[in-house]
């Protein structure tokens, strides 16, 4: 039987309904417990605690207080992070999404970490208050941390003096792994408030023809029985389509993000997780990002296993499975193999995320492969074509994956295997998969 793990809390497993009623409060009362100068951690994206957010904003404006919030995947429609409230809060994030849009306000700070270190980073800030959004409780009083449940770590929840739970009965309940990490018991909360709110869906991104071509090259590298990691977007959807059409068998999934394309592969029997060494028989991931079809398929489904991000992205755990194939996007790569997946020059665009963790974990896996994918070129706002394979990264550009760790690179023109290649051999291999309009220029720059 699962047992709550938060220090100092004792569950009345049969009387949780009485505890729920006793802990139930208003958003305003919950916000009033926040002190000037407090450090908070808060749920992200679809799990953002909107009722608490609005109440905290009013509380800080009324009292003149200021707080630090640590989180990631910040939604754009928050009260707290509106421009007129920039003097009330400093937001620290280790991954930019909505954050990059709001960053010009000046109160958003980027924290360079791997996603697996999210819990350690949050704990290092010594949060006094943790605010999470959960599903409605089940018959035993357990609430699922649901879609974005891995954004506030169990480590931070254990450390916080005050834990506030916003209960949204429209969030789906997902199966954990026989542990309390991804579930939260009513008895572990200090305050509960209810906010039945529609959950934002992320519909599948349409697949472009260029992504289908890249995905076709990638699918050829995926063998039957492989444990695959891929994320969101048109390329991920295209990879899923190609894996299905190629007739792949007995694939497994361990990943950061379980997206809608996983549903198709599981329904077709392409993914059955039968050959995995960890979470055998189950698709393992930290986040569920997709539409209602994904949620309905994954809700209470024992074929899934939700884990915290520190587990899914730990390269040592990744490598415990054989034949791991990790597939990650890149923004650009230089001719030595240095990969940028997070910045436009010195401007932070996304984050380090889990790319390097998956690159290493896949290569440490017996029979594993790491693949970094990108379109060979892009057009700027004026319509001018530019290569994404460049002689050198521009000054200030962040290196997400160092050249020493890069294995396969895929574009629509093919796949380059850079591992154990000399600098000149790497340049020639990358030039061969660059857009044809830039190959001569790149060869001159490389002197090959």
Task: Dump pLDDT digits (tens) for 328-340.
Answer: 999 999 999 999 9
The rounded distance, in Å, linking the Cα atoms of 59 and 63 is: 6
Q: What number is the average pLDDT over the span 363-386?
A: 97
Supply the pLDDT for residue 9.
Answer: 59
pLDDT at 47 over 80: yes
The rounded percent of the chain whose pLDDT value lies above 90 is 88
pLDDT value at 377 more than 80: yes
How confident is the model at residue 8, as a pLDDT? 46
Mean pLDDT of the chain: 94
Instruction: Examine the pLDDT at 359 and tell me if it is beyond 60.
Output: yes
* Secondary structure, 3-state, the chain: CCCCCCCCCCCCCCCHHHHHHHHECCHHHHHCCCCCCCEEEECCHHHCCHHHHHHHHHHHHHHCCCEEEEECCCCCCCCCCCHHHCCCEEEEECCCCHHHHHHHHCCEEECCCCHHHHHHHHHHCCCCEEEEEECCCCCCCEEECCCCHHHCCHHHHHHCCEEEEEECCCCCCCCCCCCCCCEEEHHHCCEEEECCCCCCCCCCCCCCHHHHHHHHHHHCCCCCCCEEECCCCHHHHHHHHHHHHCCCCCEEEEEEEEEHHHHHHHHCCCECCCCCCCCCCCEEEEEEECCHHHHHHHCCCCCEEECCHHHHCCHHHHCCCCCEEEEEECCEEECCCCEECCEECCEECCCCCCHHHHHHHHHHCCCCEEEEECCCEEECCCCCEEECEECCCCCCCCCCECHHHCCEEEECCEEEECCCCCHHHHHHHHHHCCCHHHHHHHHHHHCC
User: Quick one: average pLDDT of 344-368?
Assistant: 96
Once rounded to an integer, what is the mean pLDDT over residues 198-214?
A: 90
pLDDT (tens digit per residue) in 236-260: 999 999 999 889 999 999 999 999 8
pLDDT reading at 11 higher than 80: no
For 215-228, the pLDDT digits (tens) are 999 999 999 999 99
Whether pLDDT at 288 is above 60: yes
pLDDT band of residue 14 (cuts 50, 70, 90) is: low
Residue 2 has pLDDT above 70, yes or no: no
Could you give all domains of the chain from N- to C-terminal order, each with its CATH number? 16-194 (3.40.1080.10), 209-446 (3.40.1080.20)
Asked whether residue 100 carries a pLDDT value surpassing 90, the answer given is yes
Asked whether residue 23 carries a pLDDT value surpassing 70, the answer given is: yes
Q: What is the pLDDT of residue 373?
A: 97
Provide mean pLDDT across the span 38-51. Answer: 96
Condensed to tens digits (0 to 9), the pLDDT of residues 169-184 reads 999 999 877 556 789 9
CA distances from 43 to 200, 261, 291 (A): 14, 25, 19
Q: For residue 256, indicate whether it is catalytic.
A: yes
Q: Which of 256, 308, 357, 412 is catalytic?
A: 256
At 419, the pLDDT band (50, 70, 90 cuts) reads very high
Q: By the 8 A CB rule, do 332 and 375 touch?
A: no
How confident is the model over 60-69, as a mean pLDDT?
97
């Amino acid at each position: 039987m699962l047992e709550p793990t938060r220090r100092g809390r004792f569950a009345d497993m049969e009387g949780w309904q009485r505890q729920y009623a006793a802990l139930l409060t208003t958003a305003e009362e919950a916000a009033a417990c926040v002190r000037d100068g407090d450090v908070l951690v808060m749920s992200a994206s679809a799990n953002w605690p909107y009722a608490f957010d609005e109440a905290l904003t009013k509380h800080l404006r009324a009292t003149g207080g200021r707080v630090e919030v640590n989180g990631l995947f910040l939604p754009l429609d928050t009260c707290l992070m509106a421009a007129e409230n920039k003097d009330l809060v400093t937001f620290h994030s280790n991954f930019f999404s909505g954050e990059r849009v709001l960053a010009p306000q000046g109160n958003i700070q980027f924290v360079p970490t791997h996603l697996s270190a999210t819990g350690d980073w949050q704990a290092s800030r010594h949060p006094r208050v943790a605010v999470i959004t959960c599903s409605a409780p089940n018959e035993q009083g357990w609430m699922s941390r649901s879609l974005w449940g891995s954004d506030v770590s169990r480590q931070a929840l254990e450390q916080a003096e005050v834990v506030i739970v916003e209960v949204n009965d429209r969030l789906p309940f997902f199966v954990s792994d026989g542990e309390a990490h991804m579930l939260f018991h009513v008895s572990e909360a200090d305050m509960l408030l209810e906010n039945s709110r529609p959950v934002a869906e992320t519909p599948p991104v349409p697949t472009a023809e260029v992504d289908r071509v890249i995905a076709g090259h990638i699918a050829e590298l995926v063998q039957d029985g492989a444990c695959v990691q891929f994320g969101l977007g048109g390329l991920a959807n295209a990879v899923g389509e190609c894996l299905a059409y190629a007739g792949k068998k007995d694939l497994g999934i361990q990943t950061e993000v379980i997206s809608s394309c996983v549903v198709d592969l599981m329904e077709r029997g392409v993914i059955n997780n039968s050959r995995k060494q960890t979470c055998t028989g189950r698709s393992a991931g930290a986040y569920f990002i997709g539409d209602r079809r994904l949620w309905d398929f994954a809700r209470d489904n024992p074929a899934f296993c939700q884990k915290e991000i520190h587990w899914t992205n730990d390269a040592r755990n990744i490598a415990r499975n054989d034949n791991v194939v990790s597939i990650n996007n890149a923004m650009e790569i230089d001719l030595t193999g240095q990969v940028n997946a997070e910045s436009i020059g010195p401007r932070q665009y996304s984050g380090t995320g889990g790319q390097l963790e998956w690159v290493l974990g896949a290569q440490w896996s017996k029979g594993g492969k790491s693949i970094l994918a990108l379109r060979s070129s892009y057009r700027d706002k004026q319509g001018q074509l530019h290569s994404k394979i460049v002689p050198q990264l521009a000054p200030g550009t962040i290196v997400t994956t160092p050249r020493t760790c890069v294995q396969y690179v895929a574009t629509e023109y093919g796949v380059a295997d850079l591992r154990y290649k000399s600098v000149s051999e790497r340049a020639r291999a990358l030039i061969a998969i660059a857009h044809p309009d830039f190959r001569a220029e790149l060869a001159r720059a490389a002197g090959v």
